[in-house]
Amino acid sequence: MSSTFGERFRITTFGESHGPAVGVIVDGCPPGVPVDPEAVQYDLDRRRPGQSRLVTQRKEGDEVEFLSGVFEGVTTGTSLAMMVRNADQNSGAYDHLKDLYRPSHADWTYEAKYGVRDHRGGGRASARETIGRVAAAAIARQMLRDALGIEVLAWVSQVHDIDATIDDQTVTLDQVEADPTRCPDPAAAAAMTEAIEQARRDGDSLGGVVTFVARDVPAGLGEPVFDKLDAELAKAMMSLPATKGFEIGSGFAGTRMTGLAHNDAFEPGPDGTPVQTTNRSGGIQGGISSGADITGRIAFKPTATISSEQKTTTTEGEAVTLAAKGRHDPCVLPRAVPMVEAMALLVLADHWLRQKTIS
């Protein structure tokens, strides 16, 4: 199983949803990077369950433990290991799933591949695996902010058929965190809350879109042809649980435009380097960052675990109906926001370190 991501800033995540712990090992982080444990914990708190009535009520503190790689508040340059212990596993709630396959989950596909699966909460397919990604990305966030001033921010821009109106050039973290939906458009957030709560009452679930922006990214990151920055971002985002689509810049909407309308014109910047007057390319041209903000959108499917009855089959081939029990998110979008930020940060950290080796 591939649990490693990145080339220079390389992470390996470990653990299962209902095992003793989950975590991450980070290799390649330079020495001397300041590590603020409270900043790491803050990002983990944004990802954890039980933070609002809109998400799963599994009660986990998700308190990070630093096992190696940090001394007197800075990275040492050696492997950095962080771990979060699982405290509120209710594995018995999954006993009824041991001998059947949940619709649209990884149950059947994991068994088809490995011949064995962990039915307790999905094992490695659970979003709980992303704790390691978010913890590692919190280190990357501090490194990129201190070295380059890079800021990565994500928010919920759509739930089901409710679209938000948001200016990605001015939206702030405080605005994103002001509502449990993590949608910074108050009117859309209220409608999203109502829709999510109704879906829970109906025994159903909703999907949507998370949008992200990476600001102050220098020009020159990305390695064509197979490690283009947008290709790396696409792989990173599509590795997150429940993702079904990725767009950069204008994305699919750009197909409805002409080249003349779509092209980003340049004008000389203060230091003579080109500056885009528009940003339909999403800050990446030819697979390399252009110096403009990097913008993208990720589609998340409706949560597969729902309490309504669905048709499925047992491991013995018997047709049955399933009404799922246990705790689950009626909409993954609010908790997906820090996960999207994490994957963008990991890609940018990796490519910044790769660029440093050739410049």
List C-alpha distances in Å: 212 to 116, 126, 187, 227, 239. Answer: 36, 23, 20, 20, 16
Q: What's at 1, amino acid-wise? A: M
- The domain that holds 174 is classified in CATH as 3.60.150.10
Q: What is the pLDDT of residues 106-141, one digit of tens each?
A: 999 999 999 998 888 788 998 999 999 999 999 999
* Residues 6+ positions from 323 with CB-CB distance below 8 Å: 203, 307, 308, 309, 310
pLDDT of residue 58: 57
Domain count, the chain: 1
Q: What is the pLDDT of residues 168-178, one digit of tens each?
A: 999 999 999 99
pLDDT of residue 93: 63
Q: What's at 285, amino acid-wise? A: Q
Average pLDDT over residues 281-287: 98
Instruction: Answer yes or no: is pLDDT of 16 > 70.
Output: yes
pLDDT of residue 221: 98
pLDDT of residue 324: 74
Burial of 331 per CB tally in 10 Å (0-12, 13-18, 19+): buried
Measured in whole angstroms, the distance separating CA 294 from the mean position of its chain's CA atoms is 16
With CA atoms as reference, report the closest residue to 62 among 130, 110, 113. 130
pLDDT of residue 122: 81
pLDDT of residue 52: 65
The whole domain housing 29 covers 4-356
What percent of the chain lies above the pLDDT cut of 90? Answer: 84
What percent of the chain lies above the pLDDT cut of 70? Answer: 94
What would the two tokens of residue 113 be? 């591949």
**Average pLDDT of every residue of the chain:** 93
**Pairing label, strands 70-71, 74-75:** antiparallel
List C-alpha distances in Å: 170 to 167, 187, 295. Answer: 6, 18, 13
pLDDT range class, residue 74, cuts 50, 70, 90: very high
Q: What is the pLDDT of residues 308-335, one digit of tens each?
A: 999 999 999 999 998 877 667 899 999 9
What would the two tokens of residue 60 be? 């986990």
pLDDT of residue 54: 73
Average pLDDT over residues 182-207: 96
pLDDT range class, residue 245, cuts 50, 70, 90: very high
Higher pLDDT, 63 or 60: 63
